[in-house]
Structure 1
Amino acid sequence: MGKTLGDFTLEIKAGEFTDSEIMVMLGENGDVPTLNVSYKPQTISPKFKGSVRALLHEKIRDAYTHPQFITDVMKPMQIESIIDQDVQNLSGGELQRVALTLCLGKPADVYLIDEPSAYLDSEQRLMAARVIKRYILHAKKTAFVVEHDFIMATYLADRVIVFDGIPSRSTAANTPQSLLAGMNRFLSLLEITFRRDPNNFRPRINKLNSIKDTEQKKSGNYFFLDD
């Protein structure tokens, strides 16, 4: 399937997705284009006049008072600590936590989440990833996530959709692949290799043209799930 918008063309290759699955969409900036869909945008504008509580009551009235949603989303996202603050006075990180809560609180078949790690510190990013993964699993829904934080992307992804082509001009959305195959394909486009840190097991970029970088490129292993 193909779509054209002005000078931008998008080709979408056939694929399928299942319930309780998170698809992470990877591509260079300008590659990834932004059913019943709940959408969390990359940037958040605090236009709402009123408290966080009033916003949640207006947008997700049933969800934000439900005991399971409170346990799975509200508490780990620490919404209670800011619930009576004015939305327009929230920091970027606080707005992000509210936006993720609003997105997951809306009844939908598909959730599209753009940059869930934006404005969050490292601890909050890990918590947000856990919340998204647990919610999608338990609710038996599907999520498509655009994420440029590599560690968060690898944690979230059940499978990967790689976008390639000419950024902002001509892009192809490839068939969903396994995490390992998708990451290898994406990193090969960038000509970057990753290794697993032996101490904390986090992905680390190999120095360009280092022995490790050269060896992995020759073998076609740009990314490892395990050492």
Structure 2
Amino acid sequence: MARYEYPSMTKTLGAFKLHIDPGTFTDSEIIVMLGENGTGKTTFIRMLAGNLKPDEGFKCPPLNVSYKPQKISPKSEKTVQMLLYEKIRDSFTHPQFSTDVLKPLQMERLYDQQVMNLSGGELQRLAITLCLGQPADVYLIDEPSAYLDSEQRLHAAKVIKRYIMHAKKTAFVVEHDFIMATYLADRVVVFEGTPGLCFYHLVFVAERYCGFILAYLRRKSVVADIFLFYPFSPQNMVTGMNRFLQSLNITFRRDSRNARPRINKLNSVKDMEQKRSGNFFFLED
């Protein structure tokens, strides 16, 4: 198993300052980044991609990366099929890529359309396809759920996870959709701080538990102590998450009908039951 690392880095953009602690990652792993808007997730992705240089600390070691940006600007007058053949010819013509990516994302339906005429959701599916079709060790995917409906988000999440696991690659994913994030995540990066103002601290919440990692952003003032979350084994993860969610006075359950994570309504019967039992993070059978 390949092991990579990135150094401690700091980036200042006007009044915004992002501090990143050093971290490690391996292949066959998806790391999801969670946090409020303006907390530096995209900035961190761009630093990993080599598009932004840190003000302090060492530059990220050279990585063979494929990057899907948050904002996508369609300018090509080519058809979708022509663009895919031009940009990712080897992947586009490979039967396995067709099975794992093209067909689940229903790209064949878009082949004859001009890229510049695609809708937001269609453009997002194309961008995900182009990103995964590039040969790389690390895939940096910024908000893959944008403009997708609930069914398309599920398909996109399955495509990304299957591809990363089968290809034994690494992915860093910025995602605001909680269900999609919990499906994708092997580990979670939580950004803390006052959005768009001064200082953010990057921390890891590690380990998967029954396929779900529940992480929640706690908003803090810039003068408050920094919260660090350390890797736990699956059982200790529940204990650690219970402590974290208890401090937020929020409870989670797994919906028995569809296995999706749900936030309990504050002071609801389920919320009060879980709080009385101490199970702020609860997975039902």
1:105-184 aligned within 5 A = 105-169=133-197, 170-179=199-208, 183-184=214-215
Corresponding residue number in structure 1 for 2:10: 3
CA 1:23–1:106 in structure 2 vs 1: closer, same or farther (change >3 Å)? Answer: same
| Range that drifts further, 171-180 or 181-190 | 181-190
Partners of 1:191 and 1:10 in 2: CA distance: 28
What is the identity, as a one-letter code, of the residue corresponding to 1:29? N
CA 1:31–1:215 in structure 2 vs 1: closer, same or farther (change >3 Å)? Answer: farther
State the secondary structure of the residue aligned to 1:70: helix
TM-score w.r.t. structure 2 length? 0.72
Corresponding residue number in structure 2 for 1:199: 257
Corresponding residue number in structure 1 for 2:104: 76
Partners of 1:32 and 1:20 in 2: CA distance: 25
1:12 Cα deviation (Å)? 1.8
Partners of 2:203 and 2:69 in 1: CA distance: 22
State the secondary structure of the residue aligned to 2:91: coil
Corresponding residue number in structure 2 for 1:213: 271
CA 1:162–1:217 in structure 2 vs 1: closer, same or farther (change >3 Å)? Answer: farther
Q: Is the 8 A contact 1:27 1:164 kept in 2?
A: yes
CA 1:220–1:4 in structure 2 vs 1: closer, same or farther (change >3 Å)? Answer: farther
Q: Is the 8 A contact 2:9 2:19 kept in 1?
A: yes
Structure 2: runs of 5+ lacking an equivalent = 1-7, 43-62, 219-244
When the two structures are aligned, how many residues end up with a matched partner? Answer: 227
Structure 1: runs of 5+ lacking an equivalent = none
1:185 Cα deviation (Å)? 5.1
Q: Which has the higher contact order (CA 8 A, sep 6+)?
A: 1
Percentage of matched positions with identical amino acids: 67
2:91 to 27, 43, 63: 63
CA 1:27–1:215 in structure 2 vs 1: closer, same or farther (change >3 Å)? Answer: farther
Q: Which has the larger radius of gyration?
A: 2
State the secondary structure of the residue aligned to 2:25: coil
| Range that drifts further, 213-222 or 63-72 | 213-222
Q: Is the 8 A contact 1:32 1:163 kept in 2?
A: yes
What is the identity, as a one-letter code, of the residue corresponding to 2:262? R
| Range that drifts further, 197-206 or 165-174 | 197-206
Corresponding residue number in structure 1 for 2:64: 36
What is the identity, as a one-letter code, of the residue corresponding to 1:135? Y
